[in-house]
Amino acid sequence: MGKIFCLMGKSACGKDSIYKQILSDKSLPLKTLIPYTTRPIRDGETNGVEYYFLTDEEEQVLERQGKIIELRAYNTVHGLWKYFTANDHQLDLADNYYLIIGTLESYLRLQEYFGADFLIPIYIELEAGERLQRALNREQLQTEPKYAELCRRFLADEEDFSSENLEHADIVKVFVNNDLQKCTNEIISYIKEHI
């Protein structure tokens, strides 16, 4: 029986860097489970790597086909952006292990869809000031920085990943990302324990 390792944390906590380092460890039999989004692609992102970037119309086709497992919609300062997981060509839980980046909400919905035995949460934490500085640094590299959206996302994450919500989701194991390599190594060891 395979499992889905769901990497979660507030924005700019280092999820993308940790995700890439975990996948580069060839001792782990992990496949990627790439989520979908209707938000615009950022500088440096590649379609089919971080996300599958779709139009609203393409998302609606998948919805009509009954292929969407979970979907989150956010009213951003730039309009409605959707993030979702689809039951598509990527999934075979009979034989494979997957790594996905998600939110607490997506983790709970995936758990509801597949069952608790198939989901392993990996929650990453980083001090708020450091996260905000990283987010600002990243946004400044964009061709058209979206500072208002950065602020909205930062504040929303404080609420979404509250201690009450983490407790409700039964997430007790926390990986603190004060040192990227140390944190990644701890997560790799944790994953190996569950394979």
pLDDT at position 91 is: 86
Residue 118 exposed, middle or buried by CB count within 10 Å (0-12, 13-18, 19+): middle
Measured between alpha carbons, how far is 106 from 104 in angstroms, rounded to an integer?
6
**How far are the Cα atoms of 53, 95, 153 from residue 160, in angstroms, in the given order?**
24, 32, 10
Structure tokens that stand for 169 in this block: 């989701």
Residue 122: what pLDDT? Answer: 98
**Residue 102 backbone dihedrals phi, psi, to 5 degrees:** -145, -170
pLDDT value, residue 64: 96
Asked if 116 contacts 2 with a C-beta cutoff of 8 angstroms, the reply is no
- Alpha-carbon distance 172 to 29, whole Å? 25
pLDDT in tens, the chain (195 residues): 899 999 999 999 999 999 999 999 999 999 988 889 999 998 889 999 889 999 999 999 999 999 999 998 988 888 999 999 998 888 888 889 999 998 898 899 999 989 999 999 999 999 999 999 999 999 999 999 999 989 998 999 999 999 999 999 999 999 999 999 999 999 999 999 999
> What was the pLDDT predicted at 74?
87
Question: What's this model's pTM, rounded to 2 decimal places?
Answer: 0.84
What's the pLDDT at 148? 92
Neighbour-count burial for 122-138, b at 16+ CB within 10 Å, e otherwise = bbbbbeeeebbebbeeb
Q: Classify the phi-psi angles of 79: left when phi > 0, otherwise alpha if psi is within -120 to 50, otherwise beta.
A: left
